[in-house]
Amino acid sequence: MKAQYFPGRTLARFRYLGGKAAGLLIFGIFLMLSMLVIATGPEAAPTERAEREWPVSYREVTPVSMAPTIQVYGKLETDQSATLRAGVTATVAQVLRREGDWVNAGETLVQLDDAEVLLAEQSARAELARAEAALRSIRNDHQLAQDLGLHHEAQSQLAREKLQRFESLHAKSMIADAQLDDVRHEATERAMVLAQHQSRLRDFPNQEQQAEAVVAEASARLGQAELDRQHTDVRAPFSGRVVALDVAAGDRISAGSALLSVADYAGLQVRAPVPVDVAQQLRRNLDRGKPVVAATTIAGERLGFQLRGLAGEVKAGQSGIDAFFHVAPDSVMALGTVVDLTVALPEQSNVVALPIHAVYDNNRVYRITDSRLQAVTIERVGEHMDEAGNFRVLVRSSELGRGDQLLVSQLPTAMTGLLVRPTLAETSQTPALAGQWSSW
């Protein structure tokens, strides 16, 4: 069978072969041009990459002796306050001071109506006068009885002597029996009268003692009445501030009712909890007779405080022990005020004060030697805050010597061997950081 000829298919094959040939031609031309550029281009010399220098600040080491400080928050209170109560049942006549008022010791605060106690005092005074008069009467009777006793003894003696005479005459039959009986009866009566008088005389000391007891009782009632009258004038027991007022003029109050409360400002103190380990240091200083001082700034005035004592136990809900700092009497300060205290701890030797960002991982600083960093392991001794509020970390290390340059910049890439460009830091640029308890 004779093959058939298809012109369209042949044309398509020629187009395909022509496209491939054109692509190869273009690629060859591009390759030749690239080789020509490389062959005729200038030869570049290799460059060395320079190590980066980090600009940092440093300070020269000067180890000194310094007292670490701890910042604690306490509340102003007083070690004693008095709730004044009514000593008598009476009506409130005047209230002379209000809550928050400052009062001086001995100053009248509340005046009670004294009409009732004056009547009671007059009655007690009259009862005392009556008892004293009764005692004087008994003493007069006693004196009279003593005087009459001499006469009774004399009459009884005469009666006995008369009886003896009549008995002698009767024995001689010179008188009748009836006469002797009359004389004997008279002598017996005289003896009875004398015995009765002597018995009464012996009872007078008992009567006087009873009368004296009545006088003493009446005198006590008078003293109580006078004391009640004094209770109508309620006075301040000490200088301080009225912290509570419970009555008003016109109130009828009974004995024992609360009138007002006064806080003693001579016993002002700041109660501030401190960590247990810090409390041990403070107690050791107190036992050795070393003063522990604290300071704060209130209304722009720098105030000092001295540690008075420490509590003996950790109270429930607290992680520290209460410390009591004495406050000088000040009529301006209000009880309950929260006070921010900076407490000085026992002094430490050979320490260096650094800004907190100069300490890395709490146990490392960097020394600059020949413009390169070198890590130095340190002991974190404590913290210190000066009067201007500048916060520093106190560190110590046997590897640090006077004149060493320490990195004080905050450098996240700090590591041993890092190349730096050091600049001496200005001492006035000190960040003020607020802290509470020490974290060391």
CATH at residue 97: 2.40.50.100
DSSP SS3 for 14? helix
Largest CA distance in the chain: 229
Find the domain containing 191 and state its range: 116-227
| Domain-located, residue 438 | no
Whether 290 and 371 map to the same domain: the answer is: no
Joined together, the tokens standing for residue 2 give 């004779």
**Domain termination residue (choose one: 344, 363, 393):** 344
With b for 16 or more beta-carbon neighbours within 10 A and e for fewer, the 52-64 pattern comes to: eebebbbbebebe
* Shared-domain flag, residues 127 and 207: yes
From 300, 320, 344, give the residue that closes a domain: 344
Question: What CATH code is carried by the domain that includes residue 359?
Answer: 2.40.420.20
Task: Look at residue 440 in the predicted model and tell me its pLDDT.
Answer: 30
pLDDT tier for residue 267 given thresholds of 50, 70 and 90: confident
Beta bridge partners of 231: none
The answer on 123 and 223 residing in a single domain is yes
**Section 170-181 average pLDDT:** 84
How many domains is the chain partitioned into structurally? Answer: 4
Query: Is 91 within 8 Å of 112 (Cβ atoms)?
Result: yes
CATH of the domain at 291: 2.40.30.170
Q: Is the pLDDT of residue 336 over 70?
A: yes
Confidence of residue 111 (pLDDT cuts 50, 70, 90): very high
- The verdict on 269 and 259 lying in the same domain is no
Whether residue 123 is found in the same domain as residue 209? yes
CA distance 281 to 295: 18
Q: Give the model's pLDDT for residue 214.
A: 93
Taken as a whole, the chain contains a residue count of 440
> What's the rounded Cα separation, in Å, for the pair 147 and 106?
56
Q: What is the pLDDT of residue 42?
A: 60
Residues 111 and 239 in one domain: yes
Average pLDDT over residues 314-338: 81
The number of C-alpha atoms within 13 Å of 335 and in the hemisphere containing its C-beta is 21
Confidence of residue 288 (pLDDT cuts 50, 70, 90): confident
- Same domain? For 242 and 336 the reply is no
SS3 280: helix
Strand partners, 272: 323
Q: Are residues 311 and 246 in the same domain?
A: no
C-alpha angle 371/377/378, rounded to 5°?
Answer: 110
3-state DSSP: the chain helix, strand, coil percent, rounded to 5?
35, 30, 30
Claim to verify: residue 205 and residue 122 sit in the same structural domain:
yes
Rounded-to-10 torsion of CA 417, 421, 423, 425: -50
Convert the pLDDT of each residue in 7-28 to its tens digit.
555 656 666 666 666 667 777 7
What stretches of 185-299 adopt beta strand conformation (E)?
233-235, 240-245, 252-253, 258-264, 268-275, 293-298
Write down the pTM of the prediction: 0.58
Q: Are residues 276 and 316 in the same domain?
A: yes
